[in-house]
Amino acid sequence: MNIAIVGGGIAGLCLALNLHRRGIACTVYERVAQVKELGVGITLLPHAMKEFAALGIEQELEAQGIENLESCFYNRFGQLIYKEPRGRYAGYDLPEVGIHRGRLHLTLYKAAVERLGADRVICDHRCTGFAQDATGVDIQFETSNGPRAVRADALIACDGINSAVRKQLYPDDRIAFAGINTWRGVTRRKPILTGRSYIRIGSIYTGKIVIYPIVNDIDDQGNQLINWMTEIQGDSAQKNDWNENGKIEDFYDIYKDWTFDWLDVAALIRDSDVVLEYPMVDKDPLQQWTFGRVTLAGDAAHPMYPRGSNGSAQGAIDARTLADCLQREASVVEALKAYEAARLATTSRVVLTNRSNPPDFINIKVEELVGDKPFDNLDDYITQDELRALSDSYKNVAGFALTK
């Protein structure tokens, strides 16, 4: 058996490492000419860390990132709404870690090259189409040296939200945009709160920002590298460009007066090393991923809003589940069917929950109950137990509820 993995992102590399552990030959085809440390921050929840631990890279990732101690929710006036311990501090076996996405990606990439061999992780290959028959799949690529065709026993599409494979399967496939635009950046500054706090402030309706540290001791001044992301619900269908340099003036006016005794949000934004803009997009869940010897995984299968820190976890779980099915089932076709049966409904629920009831629904609910104003006593509107139930509800859907 030889499996072709189109896309060398988190899901594709996790799949390659999982297949290698099970003795199943595979080759990863990545479209970029060279894998580099790109992007900003990402949070690895305990169920993601469980997958990375099984691949033998959990300790390396933990050393490169910052273990979260707590998750804190504030209104846009800087008042604490709710907080809870996270990761090991909440009783999980594994930590919750904030890390630079590029470091995570490079760690997976280097592990794949080392274990599979450089000839099995190939860059400069952009998939342009495929055709299958009863015995295999022919995959077409465009490279800097011209077109190339590859034949494999199965094609696993891990080529992201703009998947070429998904587009061939679903020609009318399109991105879903609900009017929420985002801007992201990283800022060097002194630790905020505990220095290991994941912070959500405000709501998408009046302005929201998520803040957490991703690198310790970034310089000799005791600063951390702080990741931040703003989200704003707009009135129009005009969406930001994808991963382009952003302009502070496009969103700064909302946050210019967010100065609290524990954090100057406006300064955090102004002092950022880089500002990138993104639209908040996903795609409607599909009824079918698998077509014979071809299937979808990760963001190619179920792109979801970057809320709840769950995209990387679901991609990693896809990878392990698919590798298990390929090892267990009698044929490739049956394995891909079994994988879809195990994962499609679960990930669809996560996609829809991220739209309607994400973790920051706590902030939205409080703003709805209190109004867009400071409160004197939050318990007059909603109790801490009720807020905890909202948090736990998301964990159950996302698959990382504490079961101890």
**200 CB-near residues (< 8 Å, 6+ apart):** 71, 72, 73, 74, 208, 209, 210, 211, 359, 360, 362, 363
In terms of DSSP bridges, do strands 70-74 and 197-203 run parallel, antiparallel, or are they unpaired?
parallel
Residue 398 CA to residue 311 CA, distance in Å, equals 10
In the chain, the domains with their CATH numbers are 2-38+104-175+286-356 (3.50.50.60)
Q: What is the pTM of this model?
A: 0.94
Beta carbons of 288 and 173 less than 8 angstroms apart:
no
**Dist CA 85 CA 71 (whole Å):** 6
Rounded CA-CA distance 129/366 in Å is 48
| pLDDT tens per residue, range 326-379 | 999 999 999 999 999 999 999 999 999 988 887 788 999 999 999 999 999 999
Place of tokens 């902030």: 363
What is the helix (H) or strand (E) element at residue 211, kind and residue range?
strand 207-215
Residue 276, C-beta contacts closer than 8 angstroms, at least 6 positions apart? 40, 183, 184, 185, 243, 244, 245, 246
Half-sphere CA count of 63, side-chain side, radius 13 A: 6
Per residue, the 3-state secondary structure of 231-299, as one string, reads EEECCCCCCCCCCEECCHHHCHHHHCCCECCCCEHHHHHHCCCEEEEEEEEECCCCCCCCECCEEECHH
Nearest to residue 122, comparing CAs of 38, 27, 16? 27
Token pair for 291: 């077509």
**What pLDDT does residue 239 have?**
84
3-state SS, residue 34: coil
The dihedral formed by the CA atoms of 370, 376, 377 and 382, expressed in degrees to the nearest 10: 10
CA gap 305, 102 in Å, rounded: 19
Please tell me the predicted confidence (pLDDT) of residue 284. Answer: 95
Residue for token digits 């382009």? 244
Q: How far is C-alpha 52 from the chain's CA centre? A: 14
Tell me which amino acid residue 9 is: G
pLDDT score of 151: 98
For residues 295 and 154, what is the distance between their CA atoms, to the nearest angstrom? 8
How is residue 279 written in tokens?
Answer: 């639209």
The 10 Å CB-count burial string (b at 16+, else e) for 367-390 is: beebeeeebeebeeebeeeebeeb
Compute the distance between CA of residue 215 and CA of residue 152 in angstroms, rounded to an integer. 40
Distance CA 101, CA 7 (A): 16
Q: Measure Cα distances from 266 to 169, 223, 269 in Å.
A: 45, 18, 5
Q: Chain-centre distance of CA 379, in angstroms? A: 33
Cβ neighbours, 10 Å, residue 332: 21
Please give the full DSSP string across 66-79, using - where no structure is assigned.
EE--EEEEE-TTS-
Whole-angstrom Cα distance, residue 371 to residue 376? 12
Beta strand 25-29 with 2-6 is: parallel
Consecutive 10-residue averages of pLDDT for the chain (404 residues): 96 98 98 86 94 97 96 97 96 95 95 98 97 97 97 98 97 92 94 97 95 93 95 81 85 96 97 92 96 98 86 95 97 98 96 85 94 96 95 84 71
> What was the pLDDT predicted at 114?
98
Per residue in 198-230, pLDDT tens? 999 999 999 999 999 999 999 989 999 999 999
Backbone angles phi, psi at 383, to 5 degrees: -90, 165
Distances (CA, A) of 352 to 272, 302, 403: 32, 10, 23
Q: What per-residue confidence (pLDDT) applies to 198?
A: 97
Between strands 137-143 and 244-245, the pairing is unpaired
